[in-house]
């Protein structure tokens, strides 16, 4: 199958990443079916897409008529069975292997045999996800970055059994979405998170050791390295629960202390301080 055969894209999960992926696919002209587990999460996800598109119109990145056309191409659902109508499905559920495996096994049962199954995982094994399907050659990693409509990178992850044809479809999709591709082998964290996660965890260690305040650490990185966000602002932006899932998955595989989550991170997640999305993380956010 090539990208020309893709009419309808399915997106599993309408959280921060799923909503962004659904948005860029609809803006690129695909019909999109996006699924959440309950009405409340689906409504929040669809509201997030609409607000993001409205911001794009406000910033002159999208014509108002194009926004309405793209919005008209998106359909929300609570039923996995609706993915039977999709040619390409991108999974963006929680960063937890048992949950993702369950989703992939279900997608394999529901989706047509030609359909490609992609995961937006930021650290987990594509080969392992492919192993629960009867089509491991059509299973691939499409790692998008938050905010998806703004970040220009697509990290494509190739499992041991991923076919060249599936990689070619990924490259064509990236071109259609106006993203630049980098290719990574199936190793925890791929390229970006292999480097990003130890850096973020080290920032927490620096804070815990009392070397500097989080505000000064953020300022140092923003002004000293020209990063758009310092590490604490970025962790709140990514979500502390997501960061913890990724760190745990990487530690599980490498057993390297660089990937071991500092106690403060685990306590904050236990307290429900998840970053921007919960109103409190390292910083506090207005509702």
157 binds ligand CAA (CB under 6 A): no
One residue of 75, 84, 101, 147 binding ligand CAA per CB under 6 A: 147
Distances (CA, A) of 25 to 34, 89, 167: 11, 11, 18
Tokens of 12: 């599993």
- By the 8 A CB rule, do 182 and 155 touch? yes
| 227 given a catalytic annotation | no
- By the 8 A CB rule, do 265 and 275 touch? no
Catalytic: which of 19, 119, 120, 122?
122
Closer by beta carbon to ligand CAA, 88 or else 177: 177
52 binds ligand CAA (CB under 6 A): yes
In 3D, which of 203, 247, 194, 209 has the Cα closest to residue 229? 203
CB of 228 to ligand CAA, least distance (A): 4
Q: Could you give the string, one character per residue 168-197, with x where binding to ligand CAA holds by CB under 6 A and - elsewhere?
A: -------------------------x----
Q: Could you give the string, one character per residue 219-238, with x where binding to ligand CAA holds by CB under 6 A and - elsewhere?
A: ---------xx----x---x
Catalytic: which of 125, 128, 155, 184?
155
166 binds ligand CAA (CB under 6 A): no
Cβ atoms within 10 Å of 79's Cβ, excluding its own: 10
Closest residue to ligand CAA: CB criterion: 122
One residue of 122, 127, 133, 184 binding ligand CAA per CB under 6 A: 122
149 binds ligand CAA (CB under 6 A): yes
CB of 113 to ligand CAA, least distance (A): 30
Which residues, at least 6 apart from 53, have a Cβ–Cβ distance to it below 8 Å? 23, 27, 62, 67, 70, 71
Which residues, at least 6 apart from 72, have a Cβ–Cβ distance to it below 8 Å? none
Cβ atoms within 10 Å of 114's Cβ, excluding its own: 12
CB of 136 to ligand CAA, least distance (A): 23
93 binds ligand CAA (CB under 6 A): no
In 3D, which of 28, 24, 23, 21 has the Cα closest to residue 7? 28
146 binds ligand CAA (CB under 6 A): yes
141 binds ligand CAA (CB under 6 A): no
Closer by beta carbon to ligand CAA, 46 or else 56: 56
Residues 222, 190, 281, 56, CA torsion sign: positive
Measured N-to-C along each axis, helices 231-238 and 214-225 cross at an angle, to the nearest 10 degrees, of: 100
Alpha carbons 142 and 154: distance in angstroms, whole number:
6
Closer by beta carbon to ligand CAA, 115 or else 148: 148
Q: Known catalytic residues?
A: 122, 143, 155, 193
Q: Name the residues that contact ligand CAA, by CB under 6 A.
A: 52, 55-56, 59, 61, 122, 145-147, 149-151, 193, 228-229, 234, 238
């Amino acid at each position: 199958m090539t990208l020309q055969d893709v009419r309808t894209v399915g997106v599993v999960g309408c959280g921060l990443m799923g909503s962004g992926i659904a948005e860029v696919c609809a803006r690129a002209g695909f019909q999109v079916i996006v699924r959440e587990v309950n009405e409340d999460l689906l409504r929040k996800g669809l509201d997030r897409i609409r607000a993001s598109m409205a911001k794009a119109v406000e910033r002159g990145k999208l014509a108002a008529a194009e926004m309405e056309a793209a919005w008209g191409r998106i359909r929300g659902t609570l039923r996995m069975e609706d993915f039977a109508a999709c040619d390409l499905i991108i999974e963006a559920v929680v960063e937890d292997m048992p949950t993702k495996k369950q989703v992939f096994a279900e997608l394999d049962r529901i989706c047509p045999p030609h359909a490609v199954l992609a995961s937006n995982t930021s650290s987990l094994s594509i080969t392992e996800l492919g192993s629960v399907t009867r089509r491991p050659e059509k299973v691939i990693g499409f790692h998008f970055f938050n905010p998806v409509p703004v970040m220009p990178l697509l990290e494509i992850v190739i499992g041991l059994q991923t076919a060249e044809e599936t990689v070619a479809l990924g490259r064509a999709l990236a071109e259609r979405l106006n993203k630049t591709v980098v290719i990574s082998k199936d190793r925890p964290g791929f390229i970006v998170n292999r480097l990003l996660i130890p850096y973020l965890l080290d920032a927490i260690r620096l804070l815990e050791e009392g070397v500097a305040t989080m505000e000064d650490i953020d300022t140092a990185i923003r002004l000293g390295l020209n990063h758009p966000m310092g590490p604490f602002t970025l962790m709140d932006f990514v979500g502390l629960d997501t960061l913890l899932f990724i760190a745990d998955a990487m530690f599980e595989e490498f057993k390297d202390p660089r990937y071991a989550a500092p106690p403060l991170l685990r306590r904050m997640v236990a307290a429900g301080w998840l970053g921007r999305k919960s109103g409190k993380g390292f910083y506090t956010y207005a509702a």
